[in-house]
Amino acid sequence: MDVINIQGTDDTPNVILDKASGQFEISGRSLPEDVNMFYEPILDWIDQYSTDPNDHTEFNFKLEYFNTASSKVILDILLKFEELAEDGKEVVIKWHYHEDEEDMLEAGEEYADIVEIPFDYVLYTD
Amino acid sequence: MSREIESHRFLDFAYQLYKTMKTNEINLVYEGEVTQDITKTFTSLTERNMAKSEESNQVQRKVFNVMVECLQNISKHADTLSDDDEDERRGIVMVSRGDDSYKIITGNVIKNAKIPGLKESLEHINSLDKAGLSSLYKQQIVESKISEKGGAGLGLIDIAKKTGSKLSYQFKELNDEVSFFILTSTIKRN
């Protein structure tokens, strides 16, 4: 399967999706002008991954900031992994948040309320 | 002669504006088109100013977050005075730093027909406490679809959640068709 490796910018996140090495990560800032355009290839990749997923998927979100339009797409991503979990695959979300960013922890907790996947909260400092 | 008076007036206006900005600690004033590039420029400018002023990281992050939502609201929803420039999203943006709080004030033209719906949303958001806002946010994020303009209808809820302050707003009627909508978001400094 192809590897997605997108370098982040001022308004778009770093994205690594690599089935072979088991690396799944979205990090940085997400406030693109057109969320659909930016996230479409990522959602497509996840759909393809879902047809033949690893037994264990650990997905890392290490976001510094995301706008509300991105928050909707993040939920879409999580819902796709929820389906995998329902199919008996092991899925864990590692939700990283900066020590100065309580709002980011709360955002993770809100997602955890909505989707039925285990969340691990990981605190980081600069 | 009259040209001289004109130029004097203008200089006087520039000076008055400068003084007013200094007294009120207004860091940024802008009137014009609000695009993604403008959004990026203002947020990084404000970030740099705050970093210099040694504002706490929490406050810096909140100001950044709220500015993005306010600016993207304008770039997605602002209406225009005439139908000729329908695609241009203009507005005003002001950021001020007071002793206790930062204020982000944005203003844009809105069609009168949209006011009742917007007012209802604002009032509903203002009636909720932290837990209420959180459940409204969760409900909205599940139910909403991303609009053609790329909005998820979550911006105002997000601003209220992150600031912990009521959204202060006003509508000034410009004519039968449109009004000017002013939104003030307040971020406490400690």
- For residue B15, give the amino acid letter: Y
Do A71 and B134 lie within an 8 Å CB cutoff? no
DSSP bridge pairs for A57: A91
Residue in this structure with the two tokens 């996230």, named with its chain if needed: A39
What SS3 class is residue A116?
A: coil
Q: What are the extents of the domains in chain A?
A: 54-101+114-126
pTM for the whole structure: 0.90
- For residue A24, give the amino acid letter: F
Predicted ipTM of the assembly: 0.91
B127 φ, ψ to 5°? -85, -10
Q: What is the pLDDT along chain B (190 residues), one digit of tens a residue?
A: 577 777 888 899 999 989 988 888 898 899 999 999 999 898 888 888 888 888 888 898 899 999 999 999 998 888 888 776 667 889 999 999 988 999 999 999 999 999 999 999 999 999 999 999 999 999 999 988 766 665 657 999 999 999 999 999 999 999 999 999 999 999 998 7
Least CB-CB distance to A71: which of B56, B62, B141? B141
Whether domain B2-188 has CATH 3.30.565.10: the reply is yes
- For residue B31, give the amino acid letter: E
Most B-contacting residue of A34, A66, A72, A110 (CB-CB within 10 A), to test interface? A72
